[in-house]
């Protein structure tokens, strides 16, 4: 969605002012956080100091209570449970001044027999935790929450108890002193804590013994503490601080202390002092509000100044430039801004705008010239495409025709009309059959479906000019955008009806000639064999008869090899594999060539891995013997013909384990013009009667055996042809057929 706010320079300027304020805002917030953190630490320290002071005071009182009760327990009148004497003793102690509210003595059944302050009705102490613990353990004990009489009303008291030992050392009674927690009010008031601060004393069960200031509504005495506070005070630390929510709903920073007796398993008392978090942070919050007020005021003033100054310094010049730009957009390229100074961004912008108008004015003529040339080029391209002897048309990614030349319209008719869909409108057949080609098998459909390199197709289509069908060769070339998305498909269709007919006729003639030649040649072979059976022939006559038979046999093998080569090209030949000794086959091939004139003036050397073959050496290979013999014969003939008079042709055989390498090398170089096409059909140079079929047939035979052939002309003055054949061939695949022609 477009943001219209930033379309205005003034608004952008205001935004910059606000962005400039952000660092100051960050500093203020950071300072506020630091102040708040400091205030919290100070509040924690204050609560911890106060609670530690109260804890020390309480520990001193506990020690005094323990000492007092221990001394009283040794007095004779107490140990004899003498009520009047004990009462007199206790009252004298109380009269001298004591922090304790009362001092009581009771027998083992809890019946009070003496008290510093008289009771209206003597209570029974049995059942109190402090009483039972002192009686059973024989040690000093502190009680849990309990209420006692104070000024005629019940008030919370802290009980301290110690046993009265008998003559046998066993407790016979209990001495108890009581302490009023409200005595800590003056300590709390002296601390001058913030408003809302509270003092809380709890027993070992988490029951509130005392709270100051009192709050019976939400924090009554005798009820459990809030879960947060109790869980915090029960931790492993005897003193500490935390921030918790208390029963009255106020969040406070609390300092707490645990009070322990020696050898006790748990604290006997918990004291906490809490300061409201809000009060602790009041000063920091006030400072933050004041700083933010100043910042907002300064930002507002800066915005007002930016609004006014921006209109004068930026707004008016920009409006002037906008008017000039609109005139230019309307076609008035002569419009110019007012004379500009040599400094300032707006002056540079004005000058740039004037330069742009000047450049547009100067370039408009050049653009018209370019557009004119482009139209001429497009017209020329259309003329060239229409003059091509092949059909060319272009379809978009949806398969609709966007261009078609004249030949396309002649071959396809309405299927080549602009906007038509050739994949749907074209009817095609598999050549030589009445089988319709499926729509999705059409090469154009494959290209549209995402095939980046669809194989060309030969199809039959309806002849639009006469009854019958045309044989066409179709190819599709996908054109893609830079990101890989299909942009268009160029379709090329060539009418090869006449060429196909000529090839079929030539193939028939060649086939007939080869079969007609075989019969006379077979007769020559038989005649030679009959002559050799005669006993009245001279040695010279026998030699010529043998040569006649060998030549006829060689011609028969050549014809058979070329027939098989034709089958290889058509993919109809099945290999007749047998185990063949390549060394013996090479030697036999050489014997079949010794009648050639060039064989007499050149030498052929056969080696195995660069050395003369040892006696009995062999190199077995799984192949078709006649084809491999033809391949060797053609390579040797080429080498002998290319080698100079007296030259040496080297044939090296090498066992590479799973493959056999045959290398034929000779003096002389292959002409540079045909090196890249050396193994293609009909490629020859420098030979008077060369056909260009020898190396082509060698390549076909090597590839049909699953091998390869390679030309090496890197060494100046020499040519090396290397053939690699697998030792065992699981299956054979036909080499890629040539576009036209058959071997002669």
Using one digit for the tens of pLDDT, what is the confidence trace for 576-607? 889 999 999 999 888 877 767 666 778 889 99
Q: Which residues contact 615 (CB under 8 A, 6 or more apart)?
A: none
> In CATH, which superfamily holds the domain spanning 74-179?
PAS domain (3.30.450.20)
Separation between Cα atoms, residue 447 and residue 695, nearest integer Å: 36
Q: Residue 727 gets which letter from DSSP?
A: S
743 CB neighbour count, 10 Å cutoff: 20
What are residue 141's phi and psi, to 5 degrees?
A: -145, 155
**Average pLDDT for residues 332-358, to the nearest whole number?**
67
Counted residue by residue, the chain has a size of 744
Q: What percent of the chain has pLDDT over 90?
A: 11
Residue holding tokens 């409200």?
Answer: 182
Token reading at 384? 């060239």
Residue holding tokens 């030699």?
Answer: 543
- What b/e string do you get for 390-410 counting C-beta neighbours within 10 Å, with b at 16 or more? bbbbbbeeebebeebbebbbb
Q: What angle do CA 422, 426, 427 make, to 5 degrees?
A: 165
Q: Which residues contact 598 (CB under 8 A, 6 or more apart)?
A: 640, 641, 643
CATH number of the 575-726 domain:
3.30.565.10
More confident: 168 or 309: 168
Residue 724 has what pLDDT? Answer: 95
Token reading at 625? 């013997």
**Average pLDDT for residues 597-620, to the nearest whole number?**
86
Residue 744 has what pLDDT? Answer: 31
Q: Which residues contact 106 (CB under 8 A, 6 or more apart)?
A: 112, 113, 124, 125, 126, 131, 173, 174, 176
Q: Residue 657 gets which letter from DSSP?
A: S
Angle between the N-to-C axes of helices 625-642 and 694-704, in degrees from 0 to 180, rounded to the nearest 10: 150
The tens digit of pLDDT for each residue in 12-62 reads 777 777 787 788 888 888 888 888 888 889 888 998 998 888 889 888 888
The tens digit of pLDDT for each residue in 314-338 reads 666 777 777 777 777 777 767 766 6
The tens digit of pLDDT for each residue in 659-687 reads 999 999 999 888 888 888 888 877 777 66
Q: Quick one: pLDDT band at residue 344, thresholds 50, 70, 90? A: low
The tens digit of pLDDT for each residue in 406-416 reads 787 777 777 77
Q: By mean pLDDT, which of 144-148, 216-220, 521-525 is the weakest?
A: 144-148
E strand residue ranges, 153-250: 153-165, 171-179, 198-202, 208-212, 239-245
Residue 741 has what pLDDT? Answer: 37
Separation between Cα atoms, residue 173 and residue 69, nearest integer Å: 12
Separation between Cα atoms, residue 164 and residue 80, nearest integer Å: 9
Residue holding tokens 């045309």?
Answer: 470
Q: Quick one: pLDDT band at residue 90, thresholds 50, 70, 90? A: confident
The tens digit of pLDDT for each residue in 536-562 reads 888 888 888 777 877 777 777 777 777
More confident: 309 or 149: 309
The tens digit of pLDDT for each residue in 300-318 reads 888 888 777 766 766 667 7
Q: Where along the chain do its domains lie?
A: 74-179, 388-495, 575-726
Q: Quick one: pLDDT band at residue 149, thresholds 50, 70, 90? A: low
- 278 sits in which H/E element: helix 277-280
Residue 579 has what pLDDT? Answer: 92
Residue 586 has what pLDDT? Answer: 92
**pLDDT exceeds 50 at position 742:** no
Residue 338 has what pLDDT? Answer: 61
Q: Quick one: pLDDT band at residue 734, thresholds 50, 70, 90? A: very low
**pLDDT exceeds 80 at position 121:** no
Residue 372: burial class (beta carbons within 10 Å; 0-12, 13-18, 19+): exposed
Separation between Cα atoms, residue 146 and residue 139, nearest integer Å: 20
Contact 260, 238 (CB under 8 A): yes
Per residue, the 3-state secondary structure of 506-565, as one string, reads: HHHHHHHHHHHHHHHHHHHHHHHHHHHHCCCCCHHHHHHHHHHHHHHHHHHHHHHHHHHH
Contact 204, 267 (CB under 8 A): yes
Token reading at 579? 């185990």
Residue holding tokens 């009959």?
Answer: 530
**Average pLDDT for residues 457-480, to the nearest whole number?**
83
Residue 279 has what pLDDT? Answer: 86
Residue 743 has what pLDDT? Answer: 36
**Average pLDDT for residues 519-532, to the nearest whole number?**
76
**Average pLDDT for residues 697-719, to the nearest whole number?**
90
Q: Is the peptide bond before 213 cis (omega within 30 degrees of 0)?
A: yes
Residue 572 has what pLDDT? Answer: 74
Task: Give CB contacts under 8 A, 24+ apart, made by 74-78.
Answer: 78/105, 78/114, 78/164, 78/173, 78/175
Q: Quick one: pLDDT band at residue 150, thresholds 50, 70, 90? A: low
Cross-strand partners of 241? 255
Cross-strand partners of 18? none
Residue 739 has what pLDDT? Answer: 40
Residue 515 has what pLDDT? Answer: 67
Residue 731 has what pLDDT? Answer: 52
Q: By mean pLDDT, which of 131-145, 265-279, 356-370, 596-610 is the weakest?
A: 356-370
DSSP string, 569-626: HHT------EEEEHHHHHHHHHHHTTTSHHHHTSEEEEEETTBPPPTT---EEEE-HH
Nearest to 504 by CA among 431, 411, 564: 431
Average pLDDT, the chain: 81
Residue 721 has what pLDDT? Answer: 94
Q: Quick one: pLDDT band at residue 715, thresholds 50, 70, 90? A: confident
Query: Which runs of consecutive H residues, i.e. helices, occur in 311-344?
Result: 316-329
- 659 sits in which H/E element: strand 659-667
Residue 532 has what pLDDT? Answer: 78
381 CB neighbour count, 10 Å cutoff: 10
Fold classification of 388-495 (topology level): Beta-Lactamase (3.30.450)
Residue 242: burial class (beta carbons within 10 Å; 0-12, 13-18, 19+): buried
**pLDDT exceeds 70 at position 738:** no
More confident: 661 or 296: 661
Q: Structure pTM?
A: 0.42
The tens digit of pLDDT for each residue in 248-282 reads 888 989 999 988 887 778 888 899 999 998 888 88
Judge if 74-179 and 388-495 fold alike in CATH terms: yes
Residue holding tokens 């010794």?
Answer: 594
**pLDDT exceeds 90 at position 425:** no
Query: Which runs of consecutive H residues, i.e. helices, occur in 153-242?
Result: 185-190, 227-233
- 308 sits in which H/E element: helix 282-310
């Amino acid at each position: 969605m477009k943001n219209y706010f930033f379309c205005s320079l003034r608004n952008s300027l205001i935004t910059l002012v606000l962005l400039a304020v952000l660092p100051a805002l960050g500093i203020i917030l950071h300072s506020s956080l630091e102040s708040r953190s400091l205030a919290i630490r100070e509040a924690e320290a204050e609560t911890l100091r106060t609670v530690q002071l109260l804890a020390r005071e309480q520990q001193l009182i506990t020690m005094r209570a323990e000492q007092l009760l221990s001394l009283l327990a040794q007095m004779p009148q107490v140990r004899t449970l003498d009520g009047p004497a004990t009462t007199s003793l206790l009252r004298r102690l109380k009269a001298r001044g004591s922090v304790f509210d009362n001092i009581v003595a009771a027998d083992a059944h809890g019946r009070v027999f003496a008290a510093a302050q008289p009771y209206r009705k003597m209570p029974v102490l049995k059942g109190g935790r402090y009483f039972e613990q002192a009686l059973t353990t024989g040690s000093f004990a502190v009680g849990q929450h309990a209420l006692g009489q104070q000024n005629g009303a019940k008030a919370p008291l802290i009980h301290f108890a110690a046993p009265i030992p008998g003559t046998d050392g066993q407790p016979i009674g209990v001495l108890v002193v009581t302490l009023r927690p409200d005595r800590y009010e003056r300590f709390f008031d002296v601390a001058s804590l913030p408003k809302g601060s509270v003092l809380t004393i709890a027993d070992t069960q988490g029951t509130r013994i005392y709270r100051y200031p009192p709050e019976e509504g939400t924090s009554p005495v005798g009820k459990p503490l809030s879960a947060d506070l109790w869980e915090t005070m029960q931790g492993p630390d005897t003193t500490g601080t935390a921030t918790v929510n208390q029963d009255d709903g106020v969040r406070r920073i609390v300092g707490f202390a645990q009070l322990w007796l020696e050898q006790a398993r748990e604290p006997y008392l918990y004291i906490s002092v809490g300061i409201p978090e809000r009060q602790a942070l009041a000063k920091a919050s006030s400072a933050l509000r004041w700083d933010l007020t100043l910042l907002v005021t300064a930002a507002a003033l800066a915005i007002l100044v930016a609004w006014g100054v921006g209109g004068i310094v930026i707004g008016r010049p920009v409006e002037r430039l906008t008017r000039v730009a609109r005139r230019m957009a309307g076609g008035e390229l002569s419009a110019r801004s007012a004379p500009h100074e040599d400094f300032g961004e707006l002056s540079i912008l004005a000058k740039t705008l004037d330069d742009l108008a000047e450049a547009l004015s100067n370039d408009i003529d050049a653009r018209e010239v370019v557009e004119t040339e482009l139209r001429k080029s497009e017209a020329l391209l259309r003329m060239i495409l229409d003059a091509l002897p092949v059909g060319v048309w272009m379809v978009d990614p949806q398969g609709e025709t966007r261009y078609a030349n004249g030949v396309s319209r002649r071959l396809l008719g309405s299927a080549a009309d602009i906007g038509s869909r050739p994949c749907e409108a074209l009817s095609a057949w598999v050549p030589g059959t009445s089988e319709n080609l499926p729509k999705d098998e059409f090469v154009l459909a494959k290209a549209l479906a995402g095939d980046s390199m669809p194989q060309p197709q030969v199809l039959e289509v309806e002849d639009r000019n006469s009854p019958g069908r045309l044989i066409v060769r179709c190819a599709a070339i996908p054109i893609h955008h830079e990101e890989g998305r299909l942009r268009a498909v160029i379709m090329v269709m060539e009418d090869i009806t006449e060429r196909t007919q000529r090839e079929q006729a030539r193939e028939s003639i060649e086939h007939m000639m080869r079969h007609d030649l075989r019969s006379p040649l077979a007769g020559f072979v038989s005649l030679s064999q009959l002559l050799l059976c005669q006993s009245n022939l001279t040695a010279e006559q026998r030699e010529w008869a043998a040569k006649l038979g060998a030549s006829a046999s060689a011609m028969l093998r050549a014809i058979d090899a070329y027939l098989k080569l034709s089958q290889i090209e058509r993919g109809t030949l099945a290999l007749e594999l047998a185990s063949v000794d390549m060394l013996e086959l090479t030697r036999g091939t050489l014997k079949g060539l010794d009648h050639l004139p060039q064989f007499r003036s050149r030498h052929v050397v056969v080696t195995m891995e660069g050395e003369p073959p040892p006696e009995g050496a062999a190199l077995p290979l799984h192949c078709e013997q006649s084809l491999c013999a033809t391949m060797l014969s053609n390579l040797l003939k080429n080498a002998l013909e290319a080698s100079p008079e007296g030259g040496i042709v080297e044939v090296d055989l090498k066992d590479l384990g799973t493959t056999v390498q045959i290398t034929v090398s000779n003096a002389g170089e292959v002409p540079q013009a045909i090196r890249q096409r050396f193994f293609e059909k009909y490629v020859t140079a420098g030979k008077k009667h060369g056909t260009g079929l020898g190396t082509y047939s060698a390549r076909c035979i090597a590839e049909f055996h699953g091998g390869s052939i390679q030309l090496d002309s890197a060494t100046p003055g020499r040519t090396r042809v290397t053939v690699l054949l697998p030792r065992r061939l699981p299956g054979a695949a036909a080499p890629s057929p040539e576009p036209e022609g058959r071997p002669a």
